[in-house]
Structure 1
Amino acid sequence: MTDSIKRLICPRCQRPQRTCICGFITPTPHAVEVLILQHPLEVHQAKGSVRLLNLSLPHSEVMVGEVFAEPLLRQRLAQGGKLSVLLYPDSPEDEGLKLSTLPVLDAALLRQLAGLRLVVLDGTWRKSRKMLYLNPLLQQLPRLALRDMPASQYLIRKAHVPGQLSTLEATCHALMLLENDQEKYRPLLKAFDLFVARQMACRPDQPGSC
């Protein structure tokens, strides 16, 4: 394969054609809108799961940044009159950051799926905490935390804390919880497993790597 062919970019997934992920895209209907706030250093991360997630969820959007302009972020979080809920774990370390007191998440509101927006931070644990710290509007959102999750299949990146999931896995499990549907997102999670396997096979230390 020549260098010129290697550099060809897929117009859909924006990846080199030799590592195109379009074959893993799994269109999945979802009732809860998804807004992904992606750290700039994750945009060109070949191991990242956001591109596959965004192409698979029709009602999802990606905004890139570390610090977002407050008027723009406020408008986006309130757009359509939806309730934005932040997907973020309970963490005793938050106290050290002196973050705002979390609003109480009314369980009744979670039953109004069409009126919900799930906000997801995409970055390493350290980067996502910094994004939360630097954007006070995010601190004011009611928070959804995942608990007792299955082991991550994200073998191509090292987890820094036990139970840490990829952005795609965490989002799927959050949508499963909110929509009370364990089956709808399994095909996308299976496609993600295949994506991870392909990435593992493409590592330089693997015989016949991509």
Structure 2
Amino acid sequence: MTPPLPARRIACARCLRPQATCLCALARPIDHRTEVLVLQHPQEQRQAKNSLALLRLSLAHCDVVVGERFAPEALQALLQRLGRETRLLYPDVPAAPAPPAPMPAADAPLRLVVIDATWRKSLRMVLEHPALAALPRLSLDAPPPTRYRTIRAARRADQVSTLEATVHALAMLEGPSFDAAPLLDAFGQFVTSVAARRQPRQAEKPADC
């Protein structure tokens, strides 16, 4: 007799996560002027520790596109919006130096492009897409310590989660009118809940002999 198929976990229709780990109660709706476009690497979509779902639920103007390689015409259409200046949230690194560009005017409508991927994969995406590499950059100078290290290792001291990086960037661009505290607090609760779920599994592992 054919064994029954395992029951599928029911996902929340809003945050798309299993109902046991639904993020909707943590969402903190935040209004902002800057449009946010997140290019998410497909592998990040399957990460339970990924912070993007909470960011997408909370920001009023946030689009997420999943992909690793984009056709030039399709990418150009994603990056540019009529009447808005586009900035790539990415550091100036030797492997992918930032092109020279003036800072946008204080009241200029902006579109902020964010890459949601590991450091190695994000660098590859920039190097493989000339349209991304050519964008004027916005980088975070000495961001506050990340809360992410509790659940996800980082190779660089200045690496933060996608949510934290985007929130800090919006605060830089929009000034005091953008209140980052509620969303960062919600992110802290998310990290705590993920860490708590991992503890029982770690406790079940046999000790080294």
Q: Could you tell me the TM-score, scaled by structure 2's length?
A: 0.88
Structure 1, unmatched stretches of 5+, are: 96-100
Give the secondary structure class of the aligned counterpart of 1:13. coil
| Equivalent-residue separation in structure 2 for 1:94 and 1:137 (angstroms) | 12
| Equivalent-residue separation in structure 2 for 1:47 and 1:149 (angstroms) | 20
Q: Which runs of 4+ in 1 moved over 4 A?
A: none
Report whether the alignment pairs 1:124 with 2:124. Answer: no
Flag the 1:23–1:68 CA change in 2: closer, same or farther, 3 A. Answer: same
Query: Which residue of 128, 133, 140 maps to 2:127?
Result: 133
Q: What's the CA shift for 1:76?
A: 1.9
| Equivalent-residue separation in structure 2 for 1:80 and 1:44 (angstroms) | 33
Give the secondary structure class of the aligned counterpart of 1:43. helix
Cα deviation per residue 1:84-126 (whole Å; 9 max; x = unaligned)?
100001212336xxxxx6131x22x24124x100100000000
Report whether the alignment pairs 1:103 with 2:95. Answer: no
Identity, % of aligned positions: 46
| Equivalent-residue separation in structure 1 for 2:43 and 2:34 (angstroms) | 27
| Equivalent-residue separation in structure 2 for 1:82 and 1:125 (angstroms) | 27
- What do you get for the CA RMSD once the two structures are aligned? 1.8
Q: What's the CA shift for 1:78?
A: 1.6
Structure 2, unmatched stretches of 5+, are: 1-5, 205-209
| Equivalent-residue separation in structure 2 for 1:68 and 1:48 (angstroms) | 22
Question: Which residue is equivalent to 1:142?
Answer: 136
Q: Could you tell me the TM-score, scaled by structure 1's length?
A: 0.88
**Paired AA for residue 166 in structure 2:** T
Question: Which residue is equivalent to 2:11?
Answer: 9
Report whether the alignment pairs 1:200 with 2:195. Answer: yes
Give the secondary structure class of the aligned counterpart of 1:34. strand
